[in-house]
Amino acid sequence: MRILFVHPNYRSGGAEIAGTWPPAWVAYLSGHLRQAGFDDIHFIDAMTDNIDDADLARRMEEIKPDVVGVTAITPSIYRAEDVLKVASEVVPNAVRMLGGVHATFMYKQVFSEAPWVDVIVRGEGEEICTELMLAIEDGRWPADKHKIKGLAFLDGDQIVATPAASTVKDLSKIKPDWTVLEWSKYIYIPLGTRVAIPNLARGCPFTCSFCSQWKFWRDYRVRDPKDVVDEIEDLVENHGVGFFILADEEPTINKKKFVAFCQELIDRGLPDRVKWGINTRVTDIYRDRDLLKFYRKAGLVHVSLGTEAAAQMKLDIFNKETKVDENKTAIRLLREADILVEAQFIVGLDNETPETLEETYQMAWDWQPDLANWSMYTPWPFTPLFQELKDQVEVFDFSRYNFVTPIMKPAAMERGELLDGVMNNYRRFYMKKALFHYPWRGTGFRRRYLLGCLYAFLKAGVGRTFYDLGKVGYTGPQSKNKLDFQFDDSRTIAEAQMEDWVSSADKAAAAKERREAVKAQMKERSAERTQDFKMPNGAEVKACGGGSQQMEDV
């Protein structure tokens, strides 16, 4: 049986300005399928190769697949649906499969707008996808579709979701097939080297209302560090990877496993051959302040900190339970350990004003991170927070839910003013860094890395791909009142989706999963979190959304 995976051609001028990112999802799915005996697997990276629908149709006709599979996050969902629309026209006998976080929770929306989709794989894909492929190969599809857990499909006029499948319990079976990718395409611009995105853990132990990680992965599981380093060693030796970013939301949550991961890298001599980066939180930096130089020895060179907002008012809204001075100190600690630090700011909340935008810039400059990034507040449509805010949401064009487009309009600002304010922050911050810091501070690797980051910014700026500036018509402050964000006003929430945001089958299965996961993991995590560690202000360590409770029964 011939399987074709396609990565949809979607760009927003956000993360892709730093390079071309390898679609890790196809490697993880392909690896599991190969273990089940499927060896005729093809992949088209329509995003990296900038393939239009006509060229995609031609390639599909040449491959003649039995199954066409695609995945999507929220902003790429329409392009993913388009891929399967092309498949329905040129390889009509192929089963058309869609996966990913958006389709998992918004399957009723997807079927309402794209009825040509045959089946949606809901949740963690390896085991569900393999079971589905076996059913297709054996001729049991579509007769057995109601028997396979973790699917959604149209049955006549009815949208059906089977009970949620279990998450992958034996993570040692996760063995990605990185050979499916053409590695010469995936370059991290700041270092001019090949880049990968492996993962150490799946999910998150916290249940923040604005996040989808805990909802999608359901229970928090950490892979054996040796298995992950085996994977990284393969990427370095056989695919020439020189930089990787752990895909985890917060890989330092499980301190014991993270330390073991770093030690394994050191023991194999990998830090001399590959450098890497992570996202984490201020509290973890405080907790591990005595280990930061050890992390640097393991090859960790870039930490993106979720400082979220500079104004204390905004920190309180997000329940971050951190203070402004703590953010500044965490950045200093990282720089003292020779780890480059990037400060992430969320802007565009309802209470955003020109004054609060200015405050974020002043804070960023005072803290002196090596890099700063301002992201537009974007409510994922399948999170509890979105349901709380949906009366304030005016834009339902999900292609613009990309963290660079102002989906939410602040009460005191127009969207064009907000974008211009963010661009003003970027201009000032990086102009000063370019003139007074990057060329003169530090030597060797640090200086080369920072100048590489500056080059990536300049390249995207000159090409006007940064933040989709060319697409919306932004040319500078004089254009802020003339911008066209090109929202598709015809897009709305489907009636079927409004009726039921989460299937009852998912609720029951998720509750059972959480009960079992919490019982098995709470004791270990509780001990790690409370080993005489307090924030300098005496506050309890919180989740990224502020909650101290982890996944509970529903």
DSSP 161-175: EPPPPPP---GGG--
Residue 471, classed as helix, strand or coil, is: helix
Handedness of CA 458, 461, 462, 465 (dihedral sign): positive
| 373 class by beta-carbon count within 10 Å (0-12 exposed, 13-18 middle, 19+ buried) | middle
| 546 class by beta-carbon count within 10 Å (0-12 exposed, 13-18 middle, 19+ buried) | middle
Kindly report, residue by residue over 520-539, the tens digit of the pLDDT: 665 565 555 555 455 555 55
Residues 6+ apart with CB under 8 A from 340: 301, 302, 303, 334, 370, 371, 446, 449, 450
Q: How confident is the model at residue 208 (pLDDT cuts 50, 70, 90)?
A: low
> 320 pLDDT exceeds 50?
no
Contact call for residues 342 and 305 (beta carbons, < 8 A): yes
Beta strand pairing status for 67-71 and 95-99?
A: parallel
Dist. CA 394–CA 408, nearest whole Å:
7
Q: How confident is the model at residue 326 (pLDDT cuts 50, 70, 90)?
A: confident
Q: Calculate mean pLDDT across residues 265-277.
A: 98
Tokens representing residue 333 in the block: 């600690």
Give the number of other Cβ atoms within 10 Å of residue 72's Cβ. 24
Beta strands in 14-103 (DSSP E): 41-45, 67-71, 95-99
Tokens representing residue 502 in the block: 């989460």
**286, amino acid identity:** Y
Nearest to 87 by CA among 59, 108, 111: 59
**Termini Cα distance of the chain:** 41
Contact call for residues 90 and 111 (beta carbons, < 8 A): no
Tokens representing residue 511 in the block: 């509750």
pLDDT at site 553: 35
Give CA angle at 440 (438, 446), nearest 5°.
Answer: 55
> 550 pLDDT exceeds 60?
no
DSSP letter at 70? Answer: E
| Block residue for tokens 């930490």 | 303
Tokens representing residue 505 in the block: 């089958």
Q: How confident is the model at residue 81 (pLDDT cuts 50, 70, 90)?
A: very high
Q: How confident is the model at residue 554 (pLDDT cuts 50, 70, 90)?
A: very low
- What does the mean pLDDT of the chain come to? 88
Task: Read off the pTM.
Answer: 0.89
Tokens representing residue 234 in the block: 């393969």
Tokens representing residue 218 in the block: 């359901």
Residues 6+ apart with CB under 8 A from 230: none
Dist. CA 220–CA 371, nearest whole Å:
30
Nearest to 442 by CA among 330, 362, 372, 341: 341
Contact call for residues 447 and 439 (beta carbons, < 8 A): yes
Q: How confident is the model at residue 209 (pLDDT cuts 50, 70, 90)?
A: low
> 462 pLDDT exceeds 90?
no
Dist. CA 398–CA 77, nearest whole Å:
7
